[in-house]
Structure 1
Amino acid sequence: MTKWGCDLKGFKFKERWSNNAKSYDDLLILAVLGTVCGLFSGLLMAFFYAVIYVPVRYIMASDFDAFESLPVEWRVGLSVFSCAVLAIVFLLLPSRLHKVGVPYVVERLNYHHGNLPIGNAVVQFFSAAIGLAGGLSIGKEGPAVHIGATLGSYLAEKAKLPQYGVETLLACGVAGAISAIFQTPLAGVLFAFEVIFFEYRQRYVLPVLLSSVIATLVSHNIIGPLHIFSIDAITSLSLSLDLFFACFVLVVFIVFLSAVFLQTQKNLWRLSSLPVWLRFALVAVATSLAAVYLPEALGSGYLSLSRLLTGELVVYSLLLLIFVKTVLTALTIGLGIPGGMIGPTFIIGGLTGGYVALMFDSTVIDIAWFALIGMAAMMAACFQAPLTALVAIIEMTHSSQVIVPALFVIVLACLFMRVFFHQESVFVERLRFMGVSSNISAFQRYLRHHTIKPVAEEVVLLPMIVPIERVKDLASSMVDYVVFKNEDEWRLVRRIAVLDVVQTLDMGPQKWLVVSNDKVSMSLDKALISSDITVIEEPSSLETVLSWFQKTGQSDVLVSLPGSSFCLVSRHRLDQFLLENDEE
């Protein structure tokens, strides 16, 4: 990765970006980097998939998540062993590496300019793999988002992109990871906007779409096509009143389960001060009980959903499985096991949809259709991501007939969760519990989307001893400021002041005249009263430079640009720019 990072630096993306800010070259740069991000996202997710499932498949010799096919002692042993290993790992790791998952990605995006440490992503990768291989009730998606976002952040850092570019590549990583895990390119893009950024950002969409498509292609060619279940035998959908009544019943079930899922986690977050070993021991006990009495609740696969569609699950065991899966997943995630929630919510919603369908006449309600609608509704209600949920189901099943009833259920479920339970997305609720905002203000967003170029002033860089001829050339320059270096300090003077001093030669020789290399020169330090000025590296956005002004109280700063050049940024000019654009 170091060699790759060095190669990226050689392209001087930030210099080209600054020089071509009014052209479409920045979009081309982002498209290239988005392609690279999608490629590596797909490869990383394929590797993640292999790390989780290859060892498990040798043990089970059947479906990836068929934990019920194992002897009871194996099921209990795997869950206890995985919790014990995770407890040991987290006890040995420093606390800064314990932060993982989607809430951590949003926090780093809003408060740390999208800078995601690689160490946390490594911990997320292997800890999630251990939990999934052990049959814990978690999903792959949260870890995938964290890993993909870190990849995008790393590429942006090595390419030295401004803040707008960092956020774009972070979105590319998230979309690529989700797309590779589910092989749903459009849902991956919508997930990045609805769940990570909490808004649709048109300026990001082309590179993010490109990353998503490339990641899907890589996943499809390495892992193979992913099929949740076959829909070949599904009958056509008739939009009758009975259908929408059944949909309303499904809404009631989904809202209840979503409320249980969220409230259970919120109650368990209060136990975060307990020792890691104790919290993970509670997860081990709960998972072991499920492993003994209801092994279908283990893992993150869709085997139980497939069994429902083939008629292998009876109604009473199905209802129990839905409730146990909901509580077990909330318990596992709420007590700190690093895993995802999207997969389990899909399963819970799909099983709930199937259960509701069984309550009605099979000639009116098709179980497979209602399983699809339940999957979309449960995800949408828990994560407040209605479009992502709908599109994910359409892409995974390659069918659009479900759109109308699915939208009916999704909209009502999301609406009821907000109006009656006052619940936001589980990720927003988690951030709120941590005392962290899930979003930034419109003013901050505006600052982050602009580089310093609109407020930067050109300067003339001169040596401290400068030939008189070169000083006189300043008369034809349109630049207002001159900078020079005196020992270790940078000095700033106005160009007109330098020219005024030159005119004093008409009055005779001056003390600031020196002979250097057989040329009559001016010593700028002796000739002018200059002010010292701080030099900083080029900031990633206007937000960074405004924060610097507020912290230091200074009114001007000299910015070092690529290519050994400089520009001047003043607080006055920055305020003027913001006021002018605010009026517009």
Structure 2
Amino acid sequence: MPALLHRPVQFLLRQLRRAAALRSLVRTSEVAIVLLAALTGAAVGLLAWGMGMAAHGLHALLFGIPPGMRLSAAGYIPDWRLLLVPALGGLALYGLNRLLKRWRPKAPVDPIEANALHGGRLSLTDAAVVGAQTILSNGVGASVGLEAGYAQAGGGLASKLGLFFALRRGDLRVLVGAGTAGAIAAAFDAPLTGAFYAFELVIGGYSIGALFPVVASAVCAVLVARALEVKGYAVETLATGPVDNELYPLALLVGVLCGFSAILLMRGLAVTERLLARAIPSGALRLMLGGLCVGGLATVSTVALSAGHGALHLAFVTETPARLVLLLMLVKALASLISVASGFRGGLFFASLLIGALGGKLFAGLVAMVLPPGPDPLILSLVGMSAFGAAVIGAPLAMTFLTLETTGSLAVTGLVLAAVAVAGLIVRRLFGYSFATWRFHLRGEAIRSAHDVGWINDLTAGRLMRRDPRSLPATMELAAFRQAVPLGATAQVVLLDEAGRYAGIVSVPEAHAAPPETATLAELARHRDRVLLPGTNAKNAMALFEAAEAEALAVVDGPEKRVLGLLTEAHLLRRYGEEIDKRRQEETGIGPA
């Protein structure tokens, strides 16, 4: 029997050695990580094609529209379909959610959350869950886009590959950003937009080291999507006219209006969600009524349905009276609020582009009434699209590059950049969140960007403490203490009461310098009520040290106050500084190979 097992075991060992060598090569080679990102981008382009085809297939099947037609631009759909399909689709989504919850009870982790808190660790199972939910939500006509599913799929695939090759924390975060860059680039047929979406939202900053993997993924995803003729979120518009300098004040004003409107939309979503949850406790009924409301809005205009690709194209290429534009904008905004608040899965990415484009067009119409003939409505539609999108999504440069890749006009891009900067500044100063980070805030997560803060939570008092501190009874006489603990033996001693619980800390030099009338150690005990828990992170621990004005604090197990260890402020600050330096090296690409 040993002879029979010898060859298979040797073969297995050889394969393991080869896999280990391959992992080592990828971990230490920047070129290998770029190739891995390119492979991820190609796979994400294929996934975008599959998800888009599934959603469009549902549109054609359920609403009876021709396969090549966009749902939000459909000329005629029977009212019974408009009302019935989203309502029954809500029930179907509730059933799917129940099934998925049994299979995957944990809530999916978003790529932004994964990079901020978990060092880029994402699950492919989460990608499958979010993908199924977004395809069904979009397919039954809810006013949500597929961008959440695309980004989840790209980030999940990238994370899985990175974990297989045991990438370092910083490299894994970049690879997750590259995966989402490929997803957005394939969806919009816009590699620059996808790349800067990753830099601004998923990675949390731009660096030379992150540039090459992100661009490789975005370009490869777009090439695959074009080869498959993906019917994604490509923004189609007419050629713009000349841009006058007089348009810059109008563009800045559009940016101001978009900033305030975006804050209103995001706060309105939170209020709507809270009111619906209180008024309709049943998740099934809430989804069904939400779908019914969206269907009712769709009887006014099909702009309420799905993400709104067709409606955005029509907004660019058709002339529409100002009153009708206002009606369409309100219908889309209400449909989006109700869809997300009632529980349909998806994002406001494309909906915000459509609302902003309609808002820019409405603004141009109002200016034309006052000062005829007024500005070019197409130009202000593009300005509104990008400014409102940047205000909601939180990616100003990505939205600016979307306009550039859509129009090819640097002059229009200058107007857009000015409006985007104003809208982003207003949201940043008066609100402080993008749509994604606002949703995290409502869930109780203190995340305002994808900057890596997860390591702070990993750097806990339980990991940093000294596990064998010197401890003595608090009732011990001072003379006996001086004999047992001479000067220089240790700096602090933990005191315990009769039950073995924490009773304070005594400084050894202070005990040796105490006056003769001091009888026991208990009289010298300090920080009796100031302790750390094992899960206290580095940031909170530093705040406790500062509040207590202490050089060392005990780490206890909770209410029982059993001493687990001792943590000094000097050691905490040193380890905190080392971790900050490590993160800075990863972000700038100057870390050790």
Aligned CA distance change for structure 1 residues 159 and 320 (closer, same or farther; 3 Å): same
The CA deviation at 1:334 is 2.8
Specify which of 358, 361, 373 is matched with residue 351 of structure 1: 358
Counterpart of 2:41, as a letter, is: G
- Could you report, residue by residue, the CA deviation over 1:163-182 in whole angstroms, capped at 9, with x for unpaired residues? 22321221111111011101
Structure 1: any 5+ residue segments left out of the alignment? 1-5, 449-542, 544-549, 556-570
Asked whether the 8 Å contact 1:100–1:121 carries over to 2, the reply is no
Q: Report how far residue 283 of structure 1 moved.
A: 1.4
Counterparts of residues 34-73 of structure 1 (less than 5 Å): 34-57=37-60, 59-61=64-66, 62-65=68-71, 66-73=73-80
The aligned runs of 1:136-175 (5 Å cut-off) are 136-175=142-181
1:133 equivalent in structure 2: 139
Q: For 1:579 and 1:368, locate their aligned partners in 2 and report how far apart those are by CA, in whole Å.
A: 50
Alignment CA distance shift 1:551-1:406 (3 Å): farther
- In 1: Cα distance, 2:101 partner to 2:357 partner: 39
The TM-score with structure 2 as length reference comes to: 0.69
Instruction: Write out per-residue CA displacement over residues 530-563 of structure 1, whole angstroms, 9 at most, x where no aligned residue.
Output: xxxxxxxxxxxxx9xxxxxx999899xxxxxxxx
d(CA) in 2 for partners of 1:381, 1:575? 37
Equivalents in 2 of 1:105, 1:283: separation in Å? 27
SS in structure 2 of the partner of residue 340 of structure 1: coil
Provide the C-alpha distance between the structure 2 equivalents of 1:249 and 1:309, rounded to a whole number of angstroms.
20
Corresponding residue to 1:431 among 421, 440, 444: 440
Per-residue CA distance 1:546-582 (angstroms, 9 max, x = gap): xxxx999899xxxxxxxxxxxxxxx99x959939969
Secondary structure of the residue aligned to 2:29 is: helix
Residues 67, 135 of structure 1: 8 Å contact kept: no
Residue 17 (structure 2) pairs with residue 12 (structure 1):
no
Is it true that 1:323 corresponds to 2:326 in the alignment?
Answer: no
Instruction: Check if 1:178 corresponds to 2:184.
Output: yes
Cα distance in 1, alignment partners of residues 148 and 336 from structure 2? 13
Q: Structure 1's 191 and 7: CA in aligned 2 closer, same or farther, altered over 3 A? A: farther
Q: Tell me the equivalent position of 1:116.
A: 122
Deviation at 1:192, TM superposition (A): 1.2
Whole-Å separation in 1 of the counterparts to 2:328 and 2:23: 57
Following the alignment from structure 1 to structure 2, what is the Cα–Cα distance between the partners of residues 580 and 382? 30
| Match status 1:191 vs 2:194 | no
> Post-superposition shift, 1:211?
0.7
Q: Does the aligned pair in 2 maintain the 1:14–1:162 contact within 8 Å?
A: no
CA contact (8 A) 1:79 1:136 kept: yes
Deviation at 1:437, TM superposition (A): 2.6
Q: Is the 8 A contact 1:13 1:160 kept in 2?
A: no
Please give the alpha-carbon distance, in whole angstroms, between the structure 2 residues aligned to 1:170 and 1:365.
Answer: 42
The Cα of 1:444 is off from its aligned counterpart by 6.2
Distance in 1 separating the partners of 2:81 and 2:184: 31
Give yes or no for the alignment of 1:295 onto 2:302.
yes
| Offset of residue 296 of structure 1 | 2.1
- Identity within the alignment, %: 21
* Two-structure CA RMSD over aligned residues (Å): 3.5
Deviations 1:284-339 (A, max 9, x none): 13212112223222121332233334445322121021122112212212333111
Q: 1:20-35 residue pairs with structure 2 within 5 A?
A: 25-35=28-38
1:416 aligned onto 2:426: yes
| 8 Å Cα contact 2:86/2:288 also seen in 1 | no
Separation in 2, partners of 1:137, 1:398: 29
Amino acid at match of 2:263: A
Taking a change above 3 Å as real, the CA distance of residues 311 and 440 of structure 1, as seen in their structure-2 partners, is closer
Paired residue type of 1:281 = M
- What whole-Å deviation, never above 9, does each CA across 1:183-233 have from its counterpart, x for those lacking one? 11111111112112332233222111101100010011112586533323x
Q: Kindly tell me: are residues 287 and 98 of structure 1, through their superposed partners in 2, closer, same or farther at Cα, counting changes over 3 Å?
A: farther
| CA separation of 1:14 and 1:110: change in aligned 2, threshold 3 A | farther
Question: What pairs with 1:402-481 in structure 2 (closer than 5 Å)?
Answer: 402-419=412-429, 421-438=430-447, 439=449
Q: Summarize the Cα distance change of 1:41–1:158 in structure 2 as closer, same or farther, 3 Å threshold.
A: same
Determine helix, strand or coil for the equivalent of 1:401.
helix
Q: Residue 562 of structure 1 aligns with which residue?
A: none
- Say how many residue pairs are matched: 453
208-217 or 53-62: bigger deviation = 53-62
Give yes or no for contact 2:238–2:316 (8 Å, CA) kept in 1. Answer: no
- The 8 Å contact of residues 137 and 344 in structure 1, kept in 2 or not, is answered as yes
Deviations 1:467-511 (A, max 9, x none): xxxxxxxxxxxxxxxxxxxxxxxxxxxxxxxxxxxxxxxxxxxxx
Q: What residue identity is the alignment partner of 1:286?
A: C
Q: Is the 8 A contact 1:82 1:131 kept in 2?
A: yes
Deviations 1:236-283 (A, max 9, x none): 11111xx23422442343134212210112224436684421331231
Query: What secondary structure sits across from 1:69 in the alignment?
Result: coil
Query: Structure 2 unaligned runs (5+)?
Result: 1-13, 459-537, 539-554, 558-563, 586-593
Greater alpha carbon shift after TM alignment, 261-270 vs 383-392:
261-270
Q: Which residue of 2 aligns with 1:260?
A: 264
Does structure 2 retain, via aligned residues, the 8 Å contact 1:114–1:166?
yes
Shift of 1:342: 0.8
- Residue 49 of structure 1: how far off its partner (Å): 1.0
What letter matches 1:323 in structure 2? L
1:80-117 Cα distance to aligned partner (Å, 9 max, x none): 1221110111123327847777x732223333332222
Q: Distance in 2 between matches of 1:40 and 1:142?
A: 17
> What is the rounded CA distance, in whole Å, between the counterparts of 1:264 and 1:576 in structure 2?
39
Amino acid in structure 2 at the alignment position of 1:381: A
* Amino acid corresponding to residue 31 of structure 1 in structure 2: V
Farther off after superposition, 45-54 or 198-207 = 198-207
Q: Quick one: which amino acid aligns to residue 213 of structure 1?
A: V
Q: Deviations over 1:21-67 (max 9, x none)?
A: 7xxx5201201211110110111011111111134346311522234
